[in-house]
Structure 1
Amino acid sequence: MFTAYVIITVTTILANAGIAIADFLQAEFVVANSTEVGLPQNWLPRLAALKAAGAAGLLLGLTSLTVIGVAAAVGLVIFFIGAVAAHVRARVYHNIVFPGGYLALATASLVLAAAR
């Protein structure tokens, strides 16, 4: 179980760190997606900071700071529920798999961290 926790959590960290960087850099696909779901571009740095904080918290959770990891996973789950909801609200379904995938990773990290 610990191996699964580490693998899933490291994958979640890398995924969130990667998309946070894309958000900070306002990559073309990020801007296009945010525009499509009706998200103001000036929100991107704040949302990137939340994703980066979640990744950092999960990384701390891999150490002896388990409670930080659980809190970070909870935050990411809530964040990506909001992202999926934004896609549904805007009726943008063609790429809902991306926030759904991040939500699945965050949820798996939360379940495995809580079971630790």
Structure 2
Amino acid sequence: MAAYTVVALVTAAANLFSGTCAVVHFRPILPGMARAGVPTSWLTFPIGVLKLAGALGLLAGLVTWSGLGTAAAAGLVVFFACAVYTHLLARDYSAQFGLAIGLLALAATTLALDPALSVG
């Protein structure tokens, strides 16, 4: 349970930061998004809002109903799998591609450690 809590908190913090950067159109992320073919108009919604919702869902899952955290982690896994795929399609292997892989790994680890999914 302690490992899950730590990983969920790190995943939430990373997504709060990343989502906020997307919502405010943080200038350093714009070239990478353009290389991946992501329209600037998508940065606020769906990209930023979904990252922030995932982060808040993880945090809420830690303090209330654990199923909410499970759903948030699963949603972030799907989101970042799509992000990695988008970068691969665009043949964009920039730092943002590495960031998408890292965030996918964090979300997948959070989901894998989720005590609500443990057998037995």
Name the TM-score, length of structure 2 as normaliser.
0.91
Deviation at 1:63, TM superposition (A): 1.8
Give 2:68's aligned residue.
68
Deviation at 1:60, TM superposition (A): 1.0
Give 2:11's aligned residue.
12
Counterparts of 1:36 and 1:93 in 2: how far apart (Å)?
Answer: 9
String of CA shifts for 1:17-73, please: whole Å, max 9, x gaps. Answer: 001111111011221111010000000001100000000100011123111000000
Unaligned residue ranges in structure 1 (runs of 5+): none
Q: Secondary structure at the match of 1:76?
A: helix
Give 2:77's aligned residue.
77
Letter in 2 for 1:85: Y
Regions of 4+ moved over 2 Å = none
Give 1:22's aligned residue.
21
Letter in 2 for 1:103: L
Q: Secondary structure at the match of 2:54?
A: helix
Letter in 2 for 1:115: S
Deviation at 1:94, TM superposition (A): 3.0
Q: Secondary structure at the match of 2:31?
A: helix
Letter in 2 for 1:97: G
Q: Note the 1:27-42 alignment, pairs <5 A.
A: 27-42=26-41
Q: Secondary structure at the match of 2:63?
A: coil
User: What percent of counterpart residues are identical?
Assistant: 36
Give 2:112's aligned residue.
111
Counterparts of 1:94 and 1:13 in 2: how far apart (Å)?
Answer: 23
Deviation at 1:97, TM superposition (A): 1.4
State yes or no: 1:54 paired with 2:57. Answer: no
RMSD of aligned residue pairs (Cα, Å)? 1.2
Number of aligned residues: 115
